[in-house]
Amino acid sequence: KNEVEQSPQNLTAQEGEFITINCSYSVGISALHWLQQHPGGGIVSLFMLSSGKKKHGRLIATINIQEKHSSLHITASHPRDSAVYICAVRFGYDGGSQGNLIFGKGTKLSVKP
């Protein structure tokens, strides 16, 4: 069974703290996405990774293909970072066609001022 596990489920931090959210998956993937969902419900894509590391502002995403693990880091966290962060993976299939999209259950982050 293709599974995506996120940890922690809930995270409370003080403003300025360094935050790490983890995502593990069970089989080979073609791409991993980090998504952000705000209380209003809209979802935006933060990163798409198939290897290595990406950085955008205070956000950093890394992926280790061998260990089947990805992390999302937030440096100098701010209350406006409060949201649910979701890891989603596309599992790879033989023959080059891309698999379906499986979501983690999300990590609810609350950053206190």
Partner 1 sequence: GAGVSQSPRYKVTKRGQDVALRCDPISGHVSLYWYRQALGQGPEFLTYFNYEAQQDKSGLPNDRFSAERPEGSISTLTIQRTEQRDSAMYRCASSLWSAGELFFGEGSRLTVL
Binding region for partner 1 (CB under 8 A)? 30-31, 33, 35, 41-45, 48, 50, 86, 88, 90, 97-106
Q: Quote the least distance from Cβ 92 to partner 1, whole Å.
A: 9
Q: Which residue, 44 or 94, has its beta carbon nearer to partner 1?
A: 44
Using a 10 angstrom Cβ sphere, with 0-12 exposed, 13-18 middle and 19 or more buried, the burial of residue 28 is middle
Q: Which residue, 60 or 99, has its beta carbon nearer to partner 1?
A: 99
The rounded distance, in Å, linking the Cα atoms of 101 and 37 is 17
The rounded distance, in Å, linking the Cα atoms of 90 and 79 is 30
In the chain, the amino acid numbered 62 is: T
Q: Which residue, 69 or 108, has its beta carbon nearer to partner 1?
A: 108
Q: Quote the least distance from Cβ 23 to partner 1, whole Å.
A: 12
